[in-house]
């Protein structure tokens, strides 16, 4: 919901400067989505971002948990600037949101565990990389950041704690971040940042 609201705010303030995408908008979802499929869709997003950049526009790729390390490792990611914003929430807020979505209780630990991993990944690219590199799409370029001391020293993104925020406040914060990222006022992985 916040993503939709943020897109609306960006459209109102910046016209069609931003295009919005999620995994399901980039191609068909297999009956059993895999890590490799997610990586391939992230590559589709990178290619769309390249096309938009040629028009002076930007892609807001949101709504799905795509870790920074995955996006930065897709083959075409070296041709574009990538800014990352992690929408985080504490465990109590996550549990309340999962209750609202009526997620199965037996899967709760998976959601909470991945959120915890994403928090660590936002500040430390060396934290349990197997979480996203196992069963990967063979085209991924993990060497851009995995074990690369230059990349580790440049690892930077924003984290927004949404625990006590309304959807409207989250949307406003996302829209603000997107505008700051375009102006270079938020951390950005510039094309070729890992070299």
Residue located via tokens 């950005």: 188
Rounded mean pLDDT, 150-177: 91
C-alpha to C-alpha distances, 158 to 4, 80, 87, 136, 180, nearest whole angstrom: 20, 18, 9, 25, 11
Using a cut of 0.85, tell me whether the model's pTM lies above it.
Answer: yes
What pLDDT is attached to residue 65? 82
**CB under 8 Å to 14, separation ≥6 — which residues?**
179
What pLDDT is attached to residue 62? 84
Residue 10's H or E segment, with its range, is: helix 2-14
pLDDT at 3 over 70: no
CATH 3.40.50 matches 2-182: yes
What pLDDT is attached to residue 15? 66
pLDDT at 2 over 60: no
How far apart CA 162 and CA 86 sit, in angstroms, is 10
CA–CA–CA angle 26, 190, 122 (5° rounding): 75
Give yes or no for a contact between 50 and 80, defined as CB atoms under 8 angstroms apart.
yes
pLDDT at 5 over 80: no
Q: Which of 140, 18, 35 is nearest to 77 (CA)?
A: 140
Q: What is the DSSP letter of 176?
A: H
pLDDT confidence of 119, banded at 50, 70, 90? very high
| Range with the poorest average pLDDT among 7-21, 69-83, 107-121 | 7-21
pLDDT cut 70: percent of the chain above it: 92
How far apart CA 10 and CA 179 sit, in angstroms, is 8
C-alpha to C-alpha distances, 14 to 116, 176, 180, nearest whole angstrom: 34, 11, 13
Q: pLDDT by residue (tens digit) across 52-82?
A: 999 999 999 987 789 999 999 999 999 999 9
């Amino acid at each position: 919901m916040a993503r939709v609201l943020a897109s609306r705010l960006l459209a109102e303030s910046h016209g069609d400067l931003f295009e919005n995408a999620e995994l399901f908008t980039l191609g068909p979802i297999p009956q059993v989505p895999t890590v490799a499929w997610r990586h391939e869709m992230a590559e589709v997003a990178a290619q769309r971002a390249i096309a938009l950049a040629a028009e002076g526009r930007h892609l807001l790729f949101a709504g799905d948990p795509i870790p920074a390390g995955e996006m930065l490792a897709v083959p075409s990611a070296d041709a574009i600037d990538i800014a990352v914003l992690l929408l985080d929430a504490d465990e109590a807020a996550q549990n309340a949101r999962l209750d609202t979505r009526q997620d199965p209780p037996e899967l709760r630990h998976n959601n909470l565990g991945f959120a915890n991993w994403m928090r660590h990944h936002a500040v430390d690219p060396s934290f349990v990389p197997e979480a996203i590199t196992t069963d990967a799409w063979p085209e991924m370029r993990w060497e851009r950041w995995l074990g690369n001391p230059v990349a580790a020293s440049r690892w930077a993104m924003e984290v927004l704690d949404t625990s006590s925020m309304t959807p409207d406040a989250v949307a406003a914060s996302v829209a603000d971040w997107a505008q700051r990222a375009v102006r270079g006022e938020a951390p950005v992985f510039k094309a070729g940042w890992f070299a």
